[in-house]
A and B are shown apart, each in its own frame.
Chain A
Amino acid sequence: MDTLWYPPAIACYAVASVGFITDRLSGGGRWTRPATIALGAGAGFQAVDLLVRGMRAGNIPVANFEESLAFFSWLIALAGLVLIVRFRMAVIGALVGSAVTIGAGVAYVTMRHARLVLPEALRSVWLPIHVTLAFLGYAMFALAAVVSLTYLFYESRLKAKRALAPPEAGLPSLEKLDRINYRLLAWGFLMLSAAIITGAIWADSTWGHFWSWDPKESWSLVIWFMYAALLESRLTVGWRGRRAAALTIVVFTLLVGSFVGVSLVFPGKHSGSFG
């Protein structure tokens, strides 16, 4: 393992997950603050880790699948923190915390010891822009899926007429979950679009053509169309609520499946990372 900062980050993420899960199980409220602080501390430690790694690599540290996974987990932790603190969505903490802990943990365990050097062709100012935009987009989609899962859970409770959640549990209303899901999708879509455009510009400046039907490029386009359709259905027909939540989860599952599959199976210029 490269830096001293990564293990404490994972430990903090794990503590945050336990805190958020306890919070849910015990009715909610009491553990929100400490768990949020732990999540923030984890993101802080990992920020230092990424900085050290980035300085060594001379660029954004996404030389291989594991590093990319670590970077992606960090972005989810950050965006999750924004949702939890700014939008009072502590309810997603348990899922976000667990996802980040698992992501960062898997990256740590599988990380190769050999120092990876970026191929000359990829060293460019476009790399951090393109990769960060793409990963931020995926982080939004991941959070949208988490919010949708939460939506489906509480929606089915309401439909089944189970006991009311006590007000101190601080549960968001269905309307709020639905609105946040929409916003995350819209932001994620914007970032994915920007990532595709910057990728094309970068490809043009490096290889002289915008698009080469690399497997990752093709899949990105498919994913882009799926999210476009998802947003379109909401804006025109008004598909919202359960249907929108279910579709968000389905599309995100496809996204994960395709990208992990593509980067493991097909070689290509994106093969170093799963972005």
Chain B
Amino acid sequence: MANIKEPNPEFADRIVKSGGKTLNLCYQCGTCTASCPSGRQTAFRTRKLIRKAQLGLKEDILPSDDLWMCTTCYTCVERCPRGVDITDIIMILRNFAVKEGYMADSHKKTASNMMNTGHTIPLTDEYRNLRKKLGIPEQPPTVLGNAKALEDWKKIMQITGFDKLIGGK
């Protein structure tokens, strides 16, 4: 088993090749950490995560909760003096984590709603009634209630393997 603190250049390279080409521009100034609204509330430190990514510390990054503390607000990206695409890099790392099976049950539920209904949240009677009262279609003119559109929608996720990825039907 790989040592958790042993640099893994192959993993770092995978991040760069997957869209993180600005990763190695980071010179660890910490502007990102200082700008992070999530870091005010948690132990998540953006600068550290980027350093770990540069070193390819895969086993340290992928299972961690910290990876999921970013709200994707882009404040760090706006302020980074080196133009590092921090938020994109975090999302690349999250993609890797999910591929390795690190996905919260609550996230699986959101993903499965999105896959099975076309929306991240269900349409319930309460809102159906409110829509009716407002004089707009009870069912929004989206994938909902549109059999062909829903079929296409799901087919795309069968092709991309999203259904298997999230462990859903």
Report if A and B associate in a common complex.
Answer: no
A residues in contact (CB < 8 Å) with B: none
B residues in contact (CB < 8 Å) with A: none
